[in-house]
Amino acid sequence: MNMQPTNEWQCDRPVTVIIVGAGNRSMKYAAYALRHPERMRVVGVVDPDSLRRHNTAEKYGLTEEMCFESVERLVGLPKLADAVINGTMDLMHVPTSLPLLRKGYDLMLEKPIGVSEAEVLELYDTATAHGCKVMVCHVLRYAPFYAEIQKVVAEGGIGDIVHIQTEENVSYHHMATAFVRGKWGNTEIGGSSFLMAKCCHDLDLLTWFKSGSRPLKVSSFGRRSQFRADKAPAGAGTRCLTDCKIEESCTYSAKKLYLDQPLWSGYVWPDHIHGVRLDPEQKRKLIETDSPYGRCVWKCDNDIVDHQAVLIEFADGSTAVHNLVGGTAKPSRTIHIIGTKGEIEGEMESGEFIIRTPDPRPNREYEVKRIKLNVSKDMHGGGDVRIVEDFVNVVRGAADSRFATSLDNSILGHLCGFRADASRLEGRTMTIGWKEAMPRP
């Protein structure tokens, strides 16, 4: 077990990482080591589930002594790697990260950072005190679509920003799976609001585009309008394949979404991401009996909102609006930035955006420049791979690392999200003070 990293970086060796929480997101990030073993190597795993530990060990050639049931067991030993990829559930992000930071591990942390302002600031203070680097998985900053837009904005291509409007439309099948039937639908289980679980990405983008001007005020409205018992259609049962009279015509039929087609298999089927494959009969039996994904979407234990609007005012007088809508036919992230000299408009999934600038010449009104990007089919626009690549550079201390999603850069968007949820619940505009908006020395 002599894998303790040296104090001085050895350029000819890969960054060593330990996976904490061998779920969908952390395994996706860790897979970078399979493609680039010369740059990153997985040397350990922490997960309370023995099957996940076993399958992760097989995938990365780990010895039994490098597989741990808990973070407490890991930190009870000498430091065994350079860094950790923490992909635990939202409620566990900070409780599992604090002991790792105190042990001196650099950290790649799935978003959101934590489930409250107090948690986020405690993690920030701990990382600062122990000199650890923390990269938050705001992968959209690394997606070519948004990176190119930020470049145009930073270079003054549309002048000073006056207003930004962004929108995330969560498809009906994603909404039903993750945010109604799934563990992110209930705040006690998932830990985060719909806004923070799904859109701390987008709030982070708003503060990134507005770098140099801090947010001052936040207002928000939203509620659970669709997915509740009193909205259930006549004939709806409690489970799709046991007592529902309208299953054949229902958009949210578990049979249609999960048996007839393989949507969200990593969520629906136990340990699908670890290579465990159920046959059709086993899948049907789960949907009929124990699986939470077989429940009627109008009769679940979900308590999060299904749509929310957020309005932010910045110190320079500019404004931003983000709309989150669940249950749409088409999934999409859209953006419209209006500046003093032009505007940018686009949709991430299309991989292109346009820049419009005024053109007062005769028979003209504006000029259009179309920017087309080669965007991966990755659900985050190609950002997942790029953020891991940069994390490796950050841990190495490479001079060319972007470190775009450090804690310092990520706190502002989180504060906007927490205050937005407070505004929604309390029915009033929330302010963000200077000391709250800026990382503490």
Q: Can you give the pLDDT of all 441 residues of the chain as single tens digits?
A: 444 444 455 667 999 999 999 998 999 999 999 999 999 999 999 999 999 999 999 999 999 999 999 999 999 999 999 999 999 999 999 999 999 999 999 999 999 999 999 999 999 999 999 999 999 999 999 999 999 999 999 999 999 999 999 999 999 999 999 999 999 999 999 999 999 999 999 999 999 999 989 999 999 999 999 999 999 999 999 999 999 999 999 999 999 999 999 999 989 998 776 777 899 999 999 999 999 999 999 999 999 999 999 999 999 999 999 999 999 999 999 999 999 999 999 999 998 999 999 999 999 999 999 999 876 555 555 788 899 999 999 999 998 899 999 999 999 999 999 999 999 999 999 999 877 666 654
- Closest by alpha carbon to 168, among 209, 196, 137, 135? 196
DSSP calls for 12-39: TSPEEEEEES-SHHHHHHHTHHHH-TTT
CA distances from 143 to 121, 150, 185, 211 (A): 27, 11, 27, 18
List domains and CATH numbers for the chain.
15-132 (3.40.50.720), 141-227+302-437 (3.30.360.10), 229-294 (no CATH)
| Four-CA torsion 187, 192, 198, 204, nearest 10 degrees | 160
Indicate the pairing of strand 67-68 with strand 83-86.
unpaired
Tokens matching residue 117: 């302002």
Q: Is 403 helix (H, G, I), strand (E, B) or coil?
A: coil
Burial of 75 from C-beta contacts in 10 A (0-12 / 13-18 / 19+)? buried
Q: Is 316 helix (H, G, I), strand (E, B) or coil?
A: coil
Q: In what order do the strands lie in the sheet with 215-223?
A: 366-372, 352-358, 343-347, 332-339, 161-171, 319-328, 307-314, 215-223, 430-431
Q: How far apart are CA 91 and CA 112, in angstroms?
A: 10
Tokens matching residue 319: 């404004």
Q: How far apart are CA 264 and CA 280, in angstroms?
A: 16
